[in-house]
Structure 1
Amino acid sequence: MSDLYFGTDLFDEFDRLHRRMSGAFGGFPTSLRSTQNGAFPHINVGTTDESIEVVAFAPGIDSSKLEVTIDKGLLTIAGERKQTDAPAEAKQYARERFNGTFRRVVELPQHADADKVDARYVDGVLRISIGKREVSKPRAITVH
């Protein structure tokens, strides 16, 4: 039998502590998977042997309003999505579509080559392909 006694459920205390810590640090995501709710655009990041692939889902944007930059290992996707409201005489009861300026920053792996970038925006999807440096690509080594 344990000599320790807690007046409340220990797991409830851990849950309470977790909620307090999340509230204190909620504005600072620690990774891509823990971004703030409502981050725009939503993105997927993957890799092939040759490149790092970033897919950003950003419908309703003029491609000339998109800005993609890489600086110091950070990929930045910025732009603006114009408001497309109902006619002026219509009363609006709900609004779920994001309008306005946005900026999304993704940390890239060290082997990303900023000189080998291709970005295409088709049907509301921005596809960014970032080449890998030659030294980081997998290679077969012959054993003698």
Structure 2
Amino acid sequence: MADAFFGTDLFSDLERLQQQMTGLFGGFPSSIRAGRFGAFPPINVGATDESIEIVAFAPGIKQENLEVSIDRGLLTISGERHAVWQADMPEARRYAQERFVGSFRRVIELPEGADPDKVQAKYANGCLSVSVGRREASKPRAITVN
């Protein structure tokens, strides 16, 4: 039907336009909930039957500069990454800087069944892993059919 009005396949044109826009802007997340473009630290969020798993990729941050809190269903990861540039080479002039330096804060909305009393966090090899347990009532269970 689209051929009759436009003389070409409309969906192919739209897909080509989307690819051009993605190339122009560098590829934004697939949905608004997927995260902000260029947000630091980048995170992965997943789930098991027992817990919600969050991994924040935050290399170059000391463990004592990280803070994890949970309040009203929101998990907040905050901290600060200090610059190493000035300490190593105080006389050098900077031409480009791609590494994020400064304070950051990421807020992740947890699913309804998350239990704020069952939170564990560990930091190793530049990755902050946070595990939030699920409430017993929200865990999947098998129902016997009578």
TM over 0.5, shorter chain = yes
Shorter-chain TM range is 0.7 to 0.9
Q: Which runs of 4+ in 1 moved over 4 A?
A: none
Q: For each residue in 1:101-121, what CA deviation from the matched residue of structure 2 results, as whole angstroms up to 9, or x when unmatched?
A: 000001000000000000000
Identify the structure with the greater helix proportion: 2
Shift of 1:30: 3.9
Residue 58 (1) aligns with residue 58 (2): yes
Please give the alpha-carbon distance, in whole angstroms, between the structure 2 residues aligned to 1:37 and 1:31: 11
Please give the alpha-carbon distance, in whole angstroms, between the structure 2 residues aligned to 1:141 and 1:111: 19
The match for 2:121 is: 119
Residue 79 (1) aligns with residue 79 (2): yes
What's the secondary structure of 1:31's corresponding residue?
helix
Percent identity, aligned pairs only? 59
**TM alignment of 1:1-144, pairs within 5 A:** 30-32=32-34, 35-85=35-85, 86-144=88-146
**Gapped regions of structure 1 (runs ≥ 5):** 6-10, 20-28
Provide TM-score, normalisation by structure 1: 0.77
**Gapped regions of structure 2 (runs ≥ 5):** 6-12, 22-30
Which amino acid in structure 2 is aligned with residue 106 of structure 1? I
What's the secondary structure of 2:91's corresponding residue?
coil
Please give the alpha-carbon distance, in whole angstroms, between the structure 2 residues aligned to 1:102 and 1:128: 17
Root mean square deviation, CA, Å? 3.1
Shift of 1:142: 2.1
Shift of 1:75: 0.6
Please give the alpha-carbon distance, in whole angstroms, between the structure 2 residues aligned to 1:116 and 1:83: 34
